[in-house]
Structure 1
Amino acid sequence: MKTICPIDSQFADVISALLKPPSPLEVQEYFDQLKSTRQCRGLKVQQNGEYGKGVYADLDFEEGDLVLKDQMLVGAQHSLNKIDCLVCSFCFRFIGSIELQIGRKFYLQDLGVSTNNDWDKQTFQHIPEDCCQIDSSDSEDNSMAEDGGNMGECASSSSKDKIPLPKEAVESLMNGALVLPNSKQFPLPAVTSCLGGCREAYYCSKLCAEADWDLFHSLLCTGERSKSLCKEALSKFTQHANETNDIFLLAAKAISFTILKYRKLKAIHLEEQGKYAIANVLDNCDLSLLLEAWKPVSMGYKRRWWDCIALPDDVDCHDEAAFRMQIKELAFTSLQLLKAAIFDKECESLFSLEIYGHIIGMFELNNLDLVVASPVEDYFLYIDDLPYSEKKEAEEVTRPVLDALGDDYSVCCQGTAFFPLQSCMNHSCHPNAKAFKREEDRDGQATIIALRPICKGEEVTISYIDEDLPFEERQALLADYGFRCRCPKCLEEGP
């Protein structure tokens, strides 16, 4: 397969401008503005001569203090995980009800659906209309964690000892006819439908549905009101991503975000200039507006995906060149599918392989695992902790459900996301902070906690790897990020 992308040469100047690292002043201005929308009192982002950007403490932090809560730029739930967890497609909180979460899981597992987003098209045919409608009310947060923390244990059958739940019971859980004891102690937001009418994206509120539609989903929706160029091509792109690497879904969101932002900026610009009557203006790309729309993506550290992806253990070093070419070809195939689905003539440069490779490489190097604690696990732990008489009565209903779930009762939502401020944090094998969700952190943001006291002026660092590994293993892993660690721990342990 040839991996020559004509757009790379046709728009070389525009691509160079898009990939040009922002100046220190631009970085400072962008993150100063961004901090005003985040919970990050006492932090500043500034240039670090050796490692680019860095995050520094602007006041003293004690061990266990909240250092940062950062809202994601883009995020995605892993495709296979969608069978186990029904979450908001924007903020990733669990939605529906405890009964719906459990019943839907049984239904889809029994159905044996593939990972091409067919699950909810079929699932919601069995759910009453009043359980799946636009609901603008905000409910208690129910979800996100990068680190599971102390989740506790609950006695359940192992996976191999699962006892199937009768079909009638599964349907009753899904349609609300069966209400589990004490499940109302764990209320979840009502399921809100996609504004475009697709049966693949669902939300916790009208606010999240509107935000996702405006930022990303209007171009990536397969519903009747989708703004995509070709919904069939979009389905093929999504299926390819689900079958190969769902990092492509994040890249699609980044490109969609930029296109939609560009269109808004262009519309405002034309209105201000009074140029609606000039037809050819609508067909010309305004580079300054494209750069402005691209700015949130421009701030992330980037390398081409096929250059920075770690060499798998089962690939011999002599085969590295062939492996990296295969990765490049895989990205090119994905890009062609995406181009057929959402191509925008004015933003044509965004569909270059060079841009696509750098976007994916940015995610490869900077993403944080997205883990949303399951309210279903919390529910069964609650039942297990009830006084004996209440527990015995409740378990007459819940025990068959728990036995059918086996170890799957505690499956959490899993995915990946890019967080603008968190991604600026540099690595240390002896970090002073880490991504960790406390009990009260039940939202869709990255949460960074101080591991030990951090003094004003000190750089806030996290570990990109398992810092307990031996020195040589750590250095080998960090080489994939493009640097050799010289933190105090490595200087002490190194040769």
Structure 2
Amino acid sequence: MEYNHDATTRAKYFADLIQEKPIRFGYAEGKGKALFAAKRLLPGQPIFSEMPFVAMQHLSNQSLVQGCENCYAVCGSIESQLAYILHVESGAIPPVPRTVKVDIEESLPQKGIVKCSCGAVYCSNECRVAAWERYHCLLCVGHPDTPMQDFVRHSCETNEIFLLAAQVICTICVSFARSRNLPEARKPVDMFYKLPWWEVVSTAADLEPGQTLEEYCGIFKDLLSHTVELFVRGLQFNINHLMLHGSHPDAESTYMENIDFENVFVDCEADGILSVDFFARVVGMFEMNNISLEIRHPCSLVAEMYEDSDNPEIKSWLATVSDNIEAKLKLEANEEDEEDNEEGSEQQWEYPYLEGTALYSLICMMNHSCEPNVAVSYEYGVATAVALQDISVGDELCISYIETDQDVDARRAELSEYQFECNCPRCESES
């Protein structure tokens, strides 16, 4: 079932999200949904901040950065963070100078490491509980018999975005179990325009000789059909397990006493939320609306704090750590990258960022411009929209979806993935 919310419902939904933020929701000619300035904004001024509706760290990034799966902070002490990058035990890391430790405790609070039975990593028990109560209780593969393991393994081998789509559907199911109001539970997803995944990623340029677009789309449909079959099987098992055992990471929590999973699977299935079509539209929504999650590594901040230090102990420690990290990152890079970085590598290498993808309900409402007036910065999972220039009341707020230091043809080719052609003043003048 698809809910077509009217303009009044949509406006109220975004007004509730915006509250006192200096922005307003509206429609831009030729673009659709948009955000506008509700007051004058100055260059460098933070406009609003937002936690993601859903997000995940890229699987390929998890071998270098251990991130919290709830708030996306880098987990652990400085020693454990360095050890994780280098793939060694913490004891093999040069001891952090005492002066540095004292300064870090004051200016850069370090996070812990708490793990779910399935291996999911969190920076605190609070984050573990928050993720469990939002979606993880249905996506967890900690039970040895859950078929959800098959879905997660399949997604890791084919397309990690399937894990993010599953997170969305589990979030809807949990929200419905709390409120017993399915239209309200799925509303955050319904507010985004969604094409099926195969319509977003398939173009005539991708076709093999003699292949039709329908045949090409069929490849994606078959893959997704198998994916959803695995997911639904795992979801049904996990819901039944929760109903039988009421498990929760906090043994003293009364959360499970106030949530009702009875008929959640049946009702969501009847509503179409567990269908291939809905899953495909959620994946398509990510392809068109997701924003890269890029969070600076705390070790990078520490190195910056002491780059001009005259303390010989600190200088020696930084040099040793930097040399080890640089050598490790060169090993991780491919041969082409190594050749590119042979000269001046000291200036070019940097600590790995925590990298992922996220869907922000408000930030994803901002349209693209190759001359953006807003940029997005991150601290842990919190994204902050910042004005790049003087913005007047009523001006549309625009970000860039791509790297803008390309010519107009390259930019338009990259933007075609978002199903539109940019006609901003810069593109018009360069055409």
TM-score calculated relative to the size of structure 1? 0.70
Residue 308 of structure 1, aligned match among 194, 200, 209: 200
Q: Is residue 254 of structure 1 aligned with residue 254 of structure 2? A: no
Distance 1:461 1:387 in 2: 44
Q: Give the 3 Å change call, closer, same or farther, for CA 450–246 of structure 1 in structure 2.
A: same
- Helix, strand or coil for the counterpart of 1:410? coil
Aligned counterpart, 1:31: 14
CA contact (8 A) 1:92 1:444 kept: yes
Supply the AA of the counterpart residue of 1:389: P
3-state SS in 2 of match to 1:448: strand
What do residues 34-68 of structure 1 show as CA deviations (whole Å, max 9, x unaligned)?
123xxx72101123453221101000111222123
Give the corresponding residue for 1:346. 267
Show CA shifts across 1:95-117 (max 9, x none): 1111112223433xxxxxxxxxx
For residues 145-177 of structure 1, give each alpha carbon's deviation from its aligned partner in whole angstroms, at most 9, with x where no partner exists: xxxxxxxxxxxxxxxxxxxxxx7xx35259xxx
Match of 2:290 in 1: 367
Q: How many Å apart are 1:207 and its aligned residue? A: 2.7
Shift of residue 404, structure 1, vs aligned partner: 5.3
Output the CA distance in 2 between the equivalents of 1:489 and 1:320: 36
Closer, same or farther in 2 for the Cα pair 1:383/1:336, shift >3 Å?
A: same
1:203 deviates by 1.7
Residue from 345, 356, 361 that aligns with 1:420: 361
Work out whether residues 311 and 320 of structure 1, in 8 Å CA contact, stay in contact via their aligned partners in 2: no
Could you say what secondary structure the match of 1:350 adopts?
coil
Distance 2:326 2:413 in 1: 44
CA distance in 2, matches of 1:215, 1:234: 17
Q: Is the 8 A contact 1:97 1:187 kept in 2?
A: no
Which of 308, 314, 327 is the matching residue for 2:220? Answer: 327
- Structure 2 residues without counterparts, runs of 5 or longer: 237-264, 333-349
- The 5 Å alignment of 1:105-120 reads 105-107=85-87
Residues 313, 91 of structure 1: CA spacing in aligned structure 2 closer, same or farther, 3 A cutoff? Answer: farther
Change (3 A) 1:395 1:297: closer
Secondary structure at the aligned position of 2:72 is classed as coil
Q: Is the 8 A contact 2:79 2:90 kept in 1?
A: no
**Deviation larger for 485-494 or 308-317:** 308-317
1:369-400 per-position Cα deviation (integer Å, ceiling 9, x unaligned): 01111112233444543215233553586477
Equivalent-residue separation in structure 2 for 1:296 and 1:486 (angstroms): 29
Any conservation in 1 of the 2:303–2:318 contact (CA below 8 Å)?
no
The alignment's C-alpha RMSD in Å is 2.7
**How far apart in 2 are the matches of 1:453 and 1:317?**
51
The 5-angstrom pairing of residues 169-318 of structure 1 reads 170=89, 172-173=91-92, 179-181=95-97, 182-183=100-101, 185=104, 186-194=108-116, 198-224=117-143, 231-266=145-180, 289-309=181-201, 311=203
**Could you tell me which of 47, 61, 83 is aligned with 1:103?**
83
Equivalent-residue separation in structure 2 for 1:313 and 1:390 (angstroms): 58
Q: CA deviation at 1:32?
A: 1.1
Aligned to 1:43: 23
Give the Å deviation of 1:406. 4.8
The equivalent of 2:32 in structure 1 is 52
1:391 match? 314
Matching residue of 2:262: none
1-side partners of 2:73 and 2:354: how far apart?
Answer: 9
Measure how far apart 1:217 and its partner are.
0.5
| Aligned partners of 2:118 and 2:140 also within 8 Å | no
Could you list the per-position Cα deviations for residues 293-321 of structure 1 after superposition, in whole angstroms to 9, with x for gaps in the alignment?
10111111211111011659876586462
1:478 is the counterpart of 2:415: yes
Calculate percent identity across the aligned residue pairs: 29
**Structure-2 change in CA distance of 1:105 and 1:492 (3 Å):** closer
Which residue does the alignment assign to 2:278? 355
Q: 1:29 to 1:319 in 2, by over 3 A?
A: same
The answer (yes or no) to whether the contact 1:303–1:361 under 8 Å persists in 2 is: yes
Aligned amino acid, residue 268 of structure 2: C
1:31 shift after superposition? 1.1
| Cα-to-partner distance string for 1:323-345 (whole Å, 9 max, x where unaligned) | 33222222222111111110322
Matched positions, count: 376
CA–CA distance in structure 2, aligned partners of residues 213 and 312 of structure 1: 42
* Offset, 1:236: 1.5
Farther off after superposition, 207-216 or 452-461: 207-216
Q: Distance in 2 between matches of 1:306 and 1:236?
A: 23
Counterpart-to-counterpart distance in 1, 2:414 and 2:328: 37
> 2:404, 2:229 → 1: CA distance?
39
Cα separation, partners in 2 of 1:242 and 1:183, compared to 1, 3 Å: farther
Report if aligned partners of 1:385, 1:391 keep a CA contact under 8 Å in 2.
no
Partners of 1:486 and 1:393 in 2: CA distance: 53
Quote the offset at 1:28 in angstroms: 1.1
Residue-by-residue CA offset, 1:269-296 (whole Å, 9 max, x unaligned): xxxxxxxxxxxxxxxxxxxx21111011
Q: Tell me how far apart the structure 2 counterparts of residues 410 and 311 of structure 1 sit (CA, whole Å).
A: 37
| 1:410-448 superposed Cα distances (whole Å, 9 cap, x missing partner) | 11111100000011111222222122x2xxx52312222
Q: Which residue of the partner structure matches residue 76 of structure 1?
A: 56
The answer on whether the counterparts of 1:74 and 1:250 sit within 8 Å (CA) in structure 2 is yes
> Structure 1 pair 492/190, CA: closer, same or farther in 2 (3 Å)?
same
Deviations 1:162-196 (A, max 9, x none): xxxxx7xx35259xxx74223452541122343xx
Distance 1:490 1:392, change over 3 A: closer
Residue aligning to 2:372: 431
Pick one of 382, 396, 405 that aligns with 2:328: 405
Q: Residues 120-139 of structure 1 correspond to what in structure 2 (within 5 A)? A: none
Partners of 2:309 and 2:210 in 1: CA distance = 60
Going from structure 1 to structure 2, the CA distance change for 1:428 and 1:399 (only over 3 Å counts) comes to closer
Structure 1 residue 75, shift from structure 2 partner: 0.3
Residue type of the partner of 2:199?
Answer: D
Which whole-Å CA distance do the structure 2 matches of 1:388 and 1:311 have between them? Answer: 58
Question: 1:439-484 deviations in whole A, cap 9, x for unaligned?
Answer: xx52312222222211101111122233343333433433332333
